[in-house]
Amino acid sequence: MANIKIWTGTSTFLGLPGQTPFGHYDVDNKFRSDADTVASWCAKRLGYPIVDVELQDVQFWACFEEAVTEYSAQVQRYQIRQNLLEASNQTRTDLTNRTIEGLNGPIGLSEHYGTEALSGGNVTLKSGSIAITSGTQTYDLQNLYGSVSESNSRLEIRKIFHDRTPASRRYYDQYAGNVHNSTMALGEFGFQNRGAGVSFMLLPMYDIMLRNQQVEFSDMVRKSAYSFELQNNVIKLFPKPTSDFNLWFQYYTEASKVTGSLGTINNVTSFADIDYRVMTYSRINSPGIQWIKKYTLALAKELLGQIRSKYASVPIPGGDVSLDGDSLRGEGAAEKENLITQLREDLEASSRRNMLEAKKEESEFLKETIGNVPLNIYIG
């Protein structure tokens, strides 16, 4: 069997292809300088040079790269949870090492609500009209307008302008016997011969509102109210039209709502879309580097344990030597779990909610402290 080379005590990491499995950080000068020192530190923690360490330099470098990638993944997974609402429906851009602030998420939601409530939004509200013919009640808006003006795009009708004259233009209900009284009242102000004179009546606001309600309620009970039914973009007008006119309406196209509300293929729409990439190793701070070193050692222990577990014991003259593969694997797995737990606790402690709660407590303590300061008494 060939004599396989193991750790010799030194290594030279140049960032060449093949020295690390993925090469994520090979161009980073700090990663290059730390790769050899971390490998040497891990080997010494594993017993070198008192005992042989059955690992090669490329395996230490692979563990080092994996530790950095795991740290990056844990931190960025937390950042995604914190920033997903803010980044939703935004264009995919690299958010690594960037801070996301503002109200993009709530504003984006309010835009969608504004679209539905016709009070704004991010979709263009269009208007159109069709010709109404006397004696015809039913009209297919999709065929008459959608196929002609919107290239067969499906219409979503939002508002129909088909109503009686507003009550504010008809203060006095002829059925209530107020015509004569209104004429007399208008005559006193010189408006009796003007069609819009009623708009200038100097009446209290509550009186105007009560009269509007009176007219509307009278129309509902005594008259055939202007109304319509809309089903599948087919409209039926009430009462039956007695003249020709244009019926106006407002609408969205379903295609524009899907594009405007749900976003295009270049937008962030889910946890998997938000654009976080591998971290720049040289920008990781000292506590993060220390975590990475410990995680590298845990990975190396686990790997060395797997290698030594191939043989439970090695025969030597006069006896045999028991290997500690199983114990190394157990220690490595336990250390990895503890490090992940510690990192997640640290990240959760720095969440926006916890930071705001800490700020609130600090403010309350400060207020209490200031409240105990004696106040000066001024004698004038």
Model confidence pLDDT, tens digit, residues 284-324: 999 999 999 999 999 999 999 999 888 766 666 666 666 78
Task: Mention every residue, 6+ apart, whose C-beta is less than 8 A from residue 83.
Answer: 95, 100, 274
SS3 annotation, 172-214? CCHHHCCHHHHHHHHHHHCCCCCCCHHHHCCCCHHHHHHHHHH
* Rounded-to-integer distance, Cα 285 and Cα 258, Å: 43
Return the structure tokens found at 255.
């295609």
Q: What is the pLDDT of residue 210?
A: 85
**Structural domain boundaries of the chain?**
29-99+273-313+320-371, 111-262
* Rounded-to-integer distance, Cα 253 and Cα 125, Å: 9
Cβ atoms within 10 Å of 185's Cβ, excluding its own:
19
Least confident of 36-40, 192-196, 274-278, 345-349: 192-196
The residues pairing with 229 across neighbouring beta strands, listed in sequence order, are 236
DSSP readout, 53-67?
Answer: ----HHHHHHHHHHH
What's the pLDDT tens digit per position in 43-53? 999 999 999 99
Q: What is the pLDDT of residue 224?
A: 60
* Rounded-to-integer distance, Cα 30 and Cα 219, Å: 82
Least confident of 24-33, 237-246, 250-259: 250-259
Which residue in 195, 143, 138, 189 sits closest to 165, CA to CA?
195
Q: What is the mean pLDDT of residues 190-197?
A: 50
* Rounded-to-integer distance, Cα 163 and Cα 227, Å: 7
* Rounded-to-integer distance, Cα 83 and Cα 210, Å: 51
pLDDT band at 177 (very low <50, low <70, confident <90, very high): very low
Quick one: residue 238, left, alpha or beta (phi over 0 = left, psi -120 to 50 = alpha)? beta
In 129-149, which positions are buried (b, 16+ CB within 10 angstroms) versus exposed (e)? ebebeeeeeebebbebbbeee
Q: If you search the block for the tokens 């692979």, which residue do you land on? A: 62
SS3 298: helix
Q: What is the pLDDT of residue 261?
A: 45
Strands 245-253 and 155-161, how do they pair? antiparallel
Q: Which of 119-123, 157-161, 230-234, 291-295 has the highest mean pLDDT?
A: 291-295
Q: What is the pLDDT of residue 180?
A: 45
Length of the chain: 380
Q: What is the pLDDT of residue 97?
A: 66
Which residue in 72, 55, 5, 64 sits closest to 37, CA to CA?
64
* Rounded-to-integer distance, Cα 146 and Cα 311, Å: 77
Return the structure tokens found at 82.
């914190």
Least confident of 94-103, 195-204, 238-247, 285-294: 195-204
The model carries a pTM of 0.59
* Rounded-to-integer distance, Cα 231 and Cα 142, Å: 11
| Helix residue spans in the chain (DSSP H) | 29-45, 57-87, 104-117, 141, 147-149, 179-189, 205-222, 254-262, 286-308, 325-349, 352-371
Task: Mention every residue, 6+ apart, whose C-beta is less than 8 A from residue 336.
Answer: 295, 298, 299, 302
In Å, what is the CA distance from 229 to each residue of 132, 140, 238, 353? 15, 12, 8, 49
